[in-house]
A = this chain, B = another copy of it.
Amino acid sequence: MESVEKRPTIKDVAAMAGVAKSTVSRYLNGKPVQEDSARRIRQAIAHYHYEANVFARLSAKQSNIIGIILPGFDSTVTPRVLTAMDKYLRTKDYTPLIINTEGDLELEVRSIGNLARMRVDGIIVVSTYLTAAHRQAVRDVQTPVVFMGQEFSDGISVLEDNLSAGEELGRYVAGRGLRAVGLLWVTEEDVAVGQRRREGVMRGLAAGGVTDVRVYQADFTYQTAYTVARQVLQQPDRPQILMCATDRIAYGAYKAVRELGLRVPQDISLTGFGGYDTNELLTPPLTSIRFDSETEACVCADTVLKMFRGEPVSKTQLIGYRFLEGGSVL
């Protein structure tokens, strides 16, 4: 009769198999063990339904845990990223440990240190802004850190090719003959989106001969996008198109457009960035750019594992994208 109280430990398995705890440990970690011992350990493990306690490996060289630091769960791409990372890590026998910072940069920085002290094998930071404190934190730890979404001049990062993507979209818009362009954008503090992506769009537009570009400041929320778009659309000299920094921002613009009784694209064209699955539900579907977040997630995970193993990795890796033509541009 097994106890319902206590779960089996390595000691129980060792006792039943008639070997030392260390031998069980070795077996568990794929180190050479005599076939005879291995067999008995296997049996004992099966008998107890033993599974090692991942957190008791205080003195291990390898924890098989990767820390993932996120600014929040409610971004549209986060679930996609998390799912892909989780799946990839699991196939490599790794367990992800997720820390949600809710956009608290200070907590983000502290979490790097925390995870390092937990002896995780690597850290992936899904990042929005990089500060001096981030650089310092990375320098202070010996744990490999990969930044996703923002370029990290002092270290390793994986991010979208915002410049090229922006340029392609800009060229497309210019090519459709639109001349008065408005950008519904986010702060320049966000280097990847606020600067690089915008720069790409500008270049593409310029290449197509478009020079009349006004930039309207919004943020990443639906609500602000809606509010700002509403104001812009009511101006007598409103632009012919609102190019939005993200799809979510474009959603806010759709709402404003509909409320004002305007039509997309006859009265106002719209573009986004992100390629959310819900875009095709909009009428008309939103023209956008889709980044391959799944690949990005896997590349991050792969890179951090390589770093842990001491293998060489590229300093910066850019992820590709796909242009998605909807019907939201005249």
Contacts of A102 in B (CB 8 A): 83, 86-87
B86 engages A55 (CB within 8 Å): no
Contacts of A5 in B (CB 8 A): 142
Q: Pick the contact of A51 from B87, B117, B140, B277 — CB < 8 Å?
A: B117
Contacts of A80 in B (CB 8 A): 74
- In the complex, whether A186 has a CB less than 8 A from a CB of chain B is no
- A97 nearest in chain B by CB position: B97
A54 to B113, CA, bound (A): 12
B7 engages A116 (CB within 8 Å): yes
- In the complex, whether A110 has a CB less than 8 A from a CB of chain B is yes
> C-beta contact mask, A92-135 vs B, less than 8 Å → 1, else 0?
00001110101000000010011011100000000000000000
Q: A260 CB to closest chain B CB, in angstroms?
A: 15
- In the complex, whether A34 has a CB less than 8 A from a CB of chain B is no
Q: A295 CB to closest chain B CB, in angstroms?
A: 17
Q: A50 CB to closest chain B CB, in angstroms?
A: 9
Number of interface residues of A (CB under 8 A): 46
Q: A16 CB to closest chain B CB, in angstroms?
A: 17
- In the complex, whether A18 has a CB less than 8 A from a CB of chain B is no
Q: A208 CB to closest chain B CB, in angstroms?
A: 29
A100 to B53, CA, bound (A): 17
A56 to B119, CA, bound (A): 11
Contacts of A7 in B (CB 8 A): 113, 116-117, 141
- In the complex, whether A1 has a CB less than 8 A from a CB of chain B is no
B280 engages A51 (CB within 8 Å): no
Could you say which of A49, A100, A102 has the most chain B C-beta atoms within 10 Å of its C-beta?
Answer: A100
B51 engages A114 (CB within 8 Å): yes
A53 to B277, CA, bound (A): 40
11 A-B pairs within 8 Å (CB atoms) are namely A5-B142, A7-B116, A7-B117, A51-B117, A54-B114, A55-B55, A72-B79, A74-B80, A79-B79, A97-B97, A251-B281
Known pairs A51-B114, A278-B281 / 16 extra A-B pairs, C-beta < 8 Å: A7-B117, A7-B141, A51-B110, A51-B117, A55-B55, A55-B58, A55-B118, A73-B86, A74-B79, A78-B79, A83-B100, A86-B100, A86-B102, A251-B281, A255-B281, A281-B282
